[in-house]
Amino acid sequence: MPRSLFLVLFALAGTLFYWSVSNATAAPASSQGRVVVLGFDGGDHDTAERLMAEGRMPNLAALQKSGTFAPLGTTWSAESPVAWAALNTGQNPSKTGVPGFVKRSLFDSNGEEVISGGRPRPTVGHQRIETRPLSSMDAGPLINFLADFEINLLSALVLLIVFAGFFFVFKVLLRLKPALSIVMSLSLGLVGGWGVRAAKQMLPDEVPGVVANPVEVNSFWETAGAEGKRALVIDAAMAWDRPQPPGTQVLGGLGLPDCRGENGQWFIYTTDEFEFEKAPGGRSSPTAGTIFRLNDWRDDKTASEVFGPKNFYEMGLVRQEIADLEAQLAPENDVGWQEGNRLRERKKDLEVRAADGARTAVAMELERKADGLVSVKIGGQSQDLSEGEWSDWYRITFELNPLIKAQAVTRVKILNLKEPFTLFVNTLDIDPEKPQFWQPVSQPREFSAELVSRTGGVFETFGWACATMPFKDKIIDAPTMLEDIEFTMKWRERLTRDALERDDWEVLMSVFSTPDRVQHMCYQFYDREHPLYDEELASTKITFFGQEIELREAIPAIYEQIDRIIGDVLASLGEGDTLLVCADHGFKSFRHQVNLNNWLVKEGYLALKSDLASTSINFGLEFVDWKNTRAYALGLGMIYLNLEGRESAGIVTAEEARPLLDEMRAGLLLLRDSREGYGEKVVEVVTYIDDVHDGPYRYREGDLMVGFKPTYRVSWGTTSGGLRLVKDDQGSVVAGPIFQPNKSNWSGGHVSVAPVHVAGIFASNKVVSLPAGGAHLLHIAPTALRLLGVEAPAELDRGALEIGE
């Protein structure tokens, strides 16, 4: 059936069944001043204080004189999703349900996650993957209309509507004979009924792979919204996929996946002869990248594909066809050898397709031009680029079927024009103007599109928007990464400036994640004692926010941008408005890795399997002899007991638990760096999680939390439930050293550092009376609610700060 006719029929059906309700009246503006909460991920108090003393942060210094500037205490652990969830809600991690980027999950023998009685395994802690019914989603008028009706009833209704409409046209308006009018109208009605049935069958009953938010409690703006206060929230962490009280508008930040439903997949396309895997395979990088070998240039042209989300619609068809083929190939069916081979080949092809989730793709064509440019064409959109030049946005449509599409935005950069030619394709972000219905980036869903309209263009939506991972993997250089960070921060500032100009809110929260990204990657240039510090590299000149600086100045430069933004926001405040500046945590240089599982082995708490044959079996706790293990570590600083009744092979009884924790705590506090030339104690504090957290989701956290002294951090291997394995002189696999230098570009850190050393910034244009223990991020939510005149829920862990005029 022609698509135009198909659309006409549905437009007619939708028109006849469409009705709307008027918008609820917006709450009147508060007679008091408004509240602005300005967040800077990784804004370190000590660094800011030092730069203020140097005269590099005059706006923050002015707040210190006329209002407030102080350290802001952070959470155990000082991880962004943990800390922001606590700051947003005023509740500790055992209440929010967010234990960290990585959490310990327990799985039964069937692979199902359980609360107790399972085998430990590291899993993602700040996201939850769900399958959701289509009926629960706002998929747009057409899909919602189709999904709401039983297929036979819907087909019959459309047949009748189309028949009636065209019969009126043919008989009354065109004055055709009754019989001819009936035949023609019925024919078109049957086509309409068939079309709507075909369209209905394109819709799945449920959508797999939805990235859900694990936060279990309300944020302060949700509480305020329920009481009639209007809230506008920009790029807030752990804020996507939440209920929407009236009057709240929220653009999510950290936690949001990319268009593929993943955590920031990026891509390299290269003619490098040492890369062998072409599309659709590719070679995986250590973090989240895929490197594809391009075909050799032919007539200055080559081509590949850009791969989008998995096609859950096609996967359903593929699985069904595989099942049908398996039934046909059953022993009792004599299909003959020739037909059997054909069926087996078809089944093999389908299994290959299923293995990658029937992933969608669009064509990419590259053409070298005589003027030193390369035409990069993706999904039909072409841009001419020179070496080192970033593209404008590509807006890409990945089609799952004619009704279901995923829209993405991305930018690319030619890293090397000569051989080997190398093209970097950044993360495929969800298009904010056309977000996929199963993974909206804002509440309400149309809010992100409104922001595109108001600010004049699309923007990044992936929760970790900056290109830190390709730099960590040493695929791109520091200038490229910092160019991308500057691009991100400018767009976030543009969104914030637009929000400040609006009059439809009583509370505004805007979060800038870029300070965190710069510090993670640039401490190697800032800290002369870092293992990667190189004087020549640190002296490299770059342009950053319009100024020529050396790489060593990247961290101070991003703090100067923090200060400039604070000044701009201060200038926009009205009389009586209150500004609260906050950060989720601070920062320190990350020079040394500590392998906690190696320490547990050395001290006799963790036993290795006796039959380890390779040093590569060093992750995911696969090396553990559970029958003889009392404790293990995974995630970013947490240690767990192998507890009887909780872990499936637990051996530590409830009576033994606290004495064992005491023993391990005492040992960790005595731990010294055993490498030659060091020797200092490395652990500042070890906390019993039971003593600092309480709530229904306590089971998602560990038993002990290690807080290291500055420059030490839990190792990369420990994070994934791993340890360092080596071979001894006899060739046996044994646990390696506890300490090792951090030679990763990820050179700054905060996770597993004692919270006292990674306090964030807190500032206000008002004088704040600080409690004896100082300000803590758990104070922010109740303080914002009090300023709004909203009573804080009883379950909040701390009260409001006292704020003067």
pLDDT tens digits along 438-471 = 999 999 999 999 999 999 999 999 999 999 999 9
In this structure, is residue 337 part of a structural domain? no
Residue 8 clears pLDDT 70, i.e. is over it: no
Nearest CA among 528, 745, 527, 559 for reference residue 42: 559
Q: Tell me the backbone φ, ψ of residue 650, rounded to 5 degrees.
A: -65, 140
Q: What is the pLDDT of residue 798?
A: 98
Q: What is the pLDDT of residue 29?
A: 36
Nearest CA among 17, 22, 232 for reference residue 141: 17
The larger pLDDT score, comparing residue 581 to residue 144, is at: 581
The distance from CA 166 to its chain's CA centroid, rounded to whole angstroms, is: 50
Tell me what the mean pLDDT of segment 736-763 comes to: 98
- For residues 592 and 747, what is the distance between their CA atoms, to the nearest angstrom? 10
Inter-residue contact 636 to 719 (CB < 8 Å)? yes
Q: How confident is the model at residue 18 (pLDDT cuts 50, 70, 90)?
A: very low
In this structure, is residue 607 part of a structural domain? yes
Q: What is the pLDDT of residue 41?
A: 99
CA-to-CA separations, 797 to 387, 508, 637, 692, 775, in angstroms, rounded: 53, 23, 23, 11, 13
Q: Mean pLDDT for the chain?
A: 92
Question: Please, what's the b/e burial string for 431-465 (b: 16 or more CB within 10 A of its CB; e: otherwise)?
Answer: bbbbbbbbbbbbbebebbbebbeebeebbbbbbbb
Residue 30 clears pLDDT 50, i.e. is over it: no
Residues 6+ apart with CB under 8 A from 253: 235, 236, 237, 239, 240, 463, 511, 513
Residue 31 clears pLDDT 50, i.e. is over it: no
Count CB-CB contacts under 10 A for residue 173.
8
* Most confident option among 20-29, 144-153, 448-457: 448-457
Domain boundary among 738, 755, 772: 755
Q: What is the pLDDT of residue 801?
A: 98
In this structure, is residue 195 part of a structural domain? yes
Burial class of residue 79 in the structure, from the number of CB atoms within 10 Å of its CB (0-12 exposed, 13-18 middle, 19+ buried): buried
In this structure, is residue 697 part of a structural domain? yes
Q: What is the pLDDT of residue 328?
A: 87
Q: Give me 76's structure tokens.
A: 């155990």
CA triplet 639, 641, 647: central angle to 5 degrees?
A: 120
Q: What is the pLDDT of residue 130?
A: 96
Residue 709 clears pLDDT 70, i.e. is over it: yes
- For residues 340 and 329, what is the distance between their CA atoms, to the nearest angstrom? 7
Residues 6+ apart with CB under 8 A from 521: 468, 471, 472, 478, 481, 745, 746, 747, 748
Sign of CA dihedral 238, 240, 244, 246: positive
Q: How confident is the model at residue 684 (pLDDT cuts 50, 70, 90)?
A: very high
Inter-residue contact 72 to 45 (CB < 8 Å)? yes
Strand, helix or coil for residue 798: coil
Q: What is the pLDDT of residue 799?
A: 97
Residue 136 clears pLDDT 80, i.e. is over it: yes
| % of residues, the chain, pLDDT over 90 | 79
Residue 135 clears pLDDT 70, i.e. is over it: yes
Nearest CA among 544, 543, 551 for reference residue 522: 551
- For residues 217 and 599, what is the distance between their CA atoms, to the nearest angstrom? 36
Q: What is the pLDDT of residue 331?
A: 83
Tell me what the mean pLDDT of segment 735-740 comes to: 96
- Domain encompassing residue 160: 136-206
Residue 409 clears pLDDT 50, i.e. is over it: yes
Question: What is the count of structural domains for the chain?
Answer: 2
In this structure, is residue 315 part of a structural domain? no
**In residues, how long is the chain?**
805
Residue 14 clears pLDDT 60, i.e. is over it: no
Q: How confident is the model at residue 53 (pLDDT cuts 50, 70, 90)?
A: very high
Burial class of residue 336 in the structure, from the number of CB atoms within 10 Å of its CB (0-12 exposed, 13-18 middle, 19+ buried): exposed
As a whole number of Å, the end-to-end CA separation of the chain is 69
Pick from 13-17, 205-209, 212-216, 359-363: least confident: 13-17
Inter-residue contact 558 to 551 (CB < 8 Å)? no
Q: What is the pLDDT of residue 7?
A: 37
Q: How confident is the model at residue 201 (pLDDT cuts 50, 70, 90)?
A: confident
Residues forming a β-bridge with 378: 364, 381
* H-assigned helices in 333-424: 337-355
Residue 722 clears pLDDT 50, i.e. is over it: yes
Q: How confident is the model at residue 27 (pLDDT cuts 50, 70, 90)?
A: very low
Residue 257 clears pLDDT 70, i.e. is over it: yes
In this structure, is residue 604 part of a structural domain? yes
Domain boundary among 171, 188, 206: 206
Q: What is the pLDDT of residue 6?
A: 39
Residue 741 clears pLDDT 50, i.e. is over it: yes
Q: What is the pLDDT of residue 170?
A: 75
- For residues 547 and 148, what is the distance between their CA atoms, to the nearest angstrom? 56
Domain boundary among 162, 177, 206: 206
Inter-residue contact 378 to 398 (CB < 8 Å)? no
Q: How confident is the model at residue 5 (pLDDT cuts 50, 70, 90)?
A: very low
Nearest CA among 261, 258, 140 for reference residue 210: 261
Residue 150 clears pLDDT 80, i.e. is over it: no
Pick from 482-491, 613-622, 784-793: least confident: 613-622
Inter-residue contact 435 to 407 (CB < 8 Å)? yes
